[in-house]
């Protein structure tokens, strides 16, 4: 009996000792940097706990779209993605039933494009990482390292909570040794953040044109 109690205590100590003390890997640092950018204006950010989906799927779709779709696409200094209030599904359904024109607000045009050579470098890197078989992995956002103001919850809970507006969803990071990209979606708006390593961490360096989805 004494041996079994001692073994149980050792297993409990081992389980406790490894939780919350592990250093973050690159993908976790990348996600944390994107969350810090989203919360950089001091407003709360509600996000699904797990990242999902490839990081550059939409970017790849725009590359193969007709040329007019790409004319205004560019990279800009990074900032929070903050969509305005959107019509509810009930309002949209009512507008359709009454044959009224109710449009989702679209992102406005930005004029602060990054320099041309930066655009070229980021586009080359994004194009390369948008092609299969670039591997990616899901990241679980932990409250132990999420930035201040960020609430990460299991996705069904986020959809039941009335306080989770806007709801942010992050893609899996698309990452190479010295560049990474993460897509963020919120309330029918989407954008892509580009990141580079800095010291022992990652920082956001650019934001692609916002789009309506």
User: How many whole angstroms separate alpha carbon 191 and alpha carbon 169?
Assistant: 11
Q: What is the pLDDT of residue 7?
A: 36
Q: Give the predicted TM-score (pTM) of the model.
A: 0.83
Write out the DSSP string of the chain. -HHHHHHHHHHHHHHHHTSS-SPP-HHHHHHHHHHHHHTTTS--EEEESB--S-TTHHHHHHHTS-GGGGTT--EE------PPP---HHHHHHHHHTT----PPPPPPP--PPPHHHHHHHHHHHHHHTSTT------BPPTTTSPTTEEEE-HHHHHH-TT--SEEEEPPPEE-SS-EEEEEEETTEEEEEEEEEETTEEEEEEEEPPEE-
Q: What is the pLDDT of residue 177?
A: 92
User: How many whole angstroms separate alpha carbon 170 and alpha carbon 76?
Assistant: 19
Q: What is the pLDDT of residue 89?
A: 66
User: How many whole angstroms separate alpha carbon 130 and alpha carbon 134?
Assistant: 7
Q: What is the pLDDT of residue 5?
A: 39
Q: What is the pLDDT of residue 105?
A: 67
Q: What is the pLDDT of residue 162?
A: 79
Q: What is the pLDDT of residue 203?
A: 98
Please list the residues that pair with 46 across neighbouring strands.
151, 167
Q: What is the pLDDT of residue 204?
A: 98
Please list the residues that pair with 124 across neighbouring strands.
none
Q: Which residues of the chain have pLDDT under 50?
A: 1-19
Q: What is the pLDDT of residue 171?
A: 97
């Amino acid at each position: 009996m004494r041996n079994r109690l001692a073994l149980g205590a050792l297993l409990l100590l081992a389980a406790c000792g490894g939780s919350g003390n592990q250093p973050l890997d690159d993908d976790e640092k990348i996600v944390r940097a994107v969350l810090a950018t989203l919360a950089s204006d001091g407003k709360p950010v509600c996000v699904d706990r797990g990242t999902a989906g490839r990081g550059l799927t939409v970017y790849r779709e725009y590359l193969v779209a007709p040329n007019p779709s790409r004319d205004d696409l560019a990279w800009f200094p990074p900032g929070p993605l903050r969509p305005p209030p959107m019509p509810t599904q009930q309002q949209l359904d009512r507008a359709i039933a009454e044959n009224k024109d109710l449009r989702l607000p679209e992102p406005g045009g930005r004029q602060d494009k990054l320099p041309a050579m930066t655009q070229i470098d980021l586009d080359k890197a994004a194009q390369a990482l948008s092609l299969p078989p670039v591997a990616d992995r899901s990241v679980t956002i932990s409250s132990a390292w999420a930035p201040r103001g960020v609430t990460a919850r299991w996705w069904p809970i986020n959809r039941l909570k009335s306080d989770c507006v806007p709801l942010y969803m992050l893609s899996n990071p698309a990452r190479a040794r010295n560049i990474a990209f993460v897509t963020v979606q919120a309330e029918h708006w989407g954008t892509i953040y580009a990141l580079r390593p800095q010291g022992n961490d990652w920082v956001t360096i650019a934001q692609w044109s916002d789009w309506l989805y």
